[in-house]
Amino acid sequence: MSTPGLTKGLEIIEYISKVKQAGFNQMKKELDIGSSSLNRYLKTLIEKDYIIKNENQIYTLGKKIYNISNSIEVNNRLENIIYPALYTITKKVGFTSVCFKFQESKIKCICKNIYSEGLIMQEVGDERIDYIYQPWGYLYLSSLNEVEREYLISKSKEADRQVPTVEIQEKYFKAAYKYGYVDDYGELYDHVRRLAVPIYKEGVMIGAIGIGGIKYNMKDDDISGYIKIMKEEVLQIEELI
């Protein structure tokens, strides 16, 4: 759609959302759109699943609108549940904490709490596929079968970055399977160390909580304590989602 067409398309969606269902002549009159233009807009909206037309020639909202609405509702609910946990983690460990959602083979940052003197880390809303460069990426990959995992590993390799060795990758996978967390030991980014703990819902890994800080500030002797704090908060999240 052109810009004017997009505007009219949004007006149609908003109108149907308001009245729940509408006929062609009704929309033509109420929205003051000519027949040929309205036909064109409706055809495009139907093709994109934003609206549907039933056997009685009545138009209602399509599944894509409901998917968007449900996604916003779920994300808002998750943020309301997760942010207090991130606040607690950051306060206790003294590092920025982040929550990631695993969806459609992507890792999306949905919420974070920045430590006042810490790293900013990934921006909320960012979607990434660079799994092999992130500890939470190894958690996600560990939840997949071998074929899916190898495919996504091949997709995540970046030409301008050194690929972690097979030995390093296997170390992270072993930690994910055996201990239920991944510590990258500062091996994936210079001077930055990150930890990740998975979030499960009904036995399926749906996301992860991560923390990150300057490598020399994250002492080996403190790591087990950080993981314990993160796992305690994740247990509370899992009870609420």
- What would the pLDDT profile of 152-173 be if each residue is shown by its tens digit? 998 888 767 889 999 999 999 9
Q: For residue 55, what pLDDT band results from cuts at 50, 70 and 90?
A: confident
Distance of CA 111 to the CA centre of its chain: 9
Q: Is the pTM of this model over 0.75?
A: no
pLDDT at 74 over 60: no
Type of residue at 214: I
**Burial letters 68-83, b for 16+ CB under 10 A, else e:** eeeeeeeeeebeebbb
Amino acid 69: pLDDT? 58
Q: Are 133 and 164 in contact (CB under 8 A)?
A: yes
Amino acid 182: pLDDT? 98
Domains of the chain: 3-61 (1.10.10.10), 72-240 (3.30.450.40)
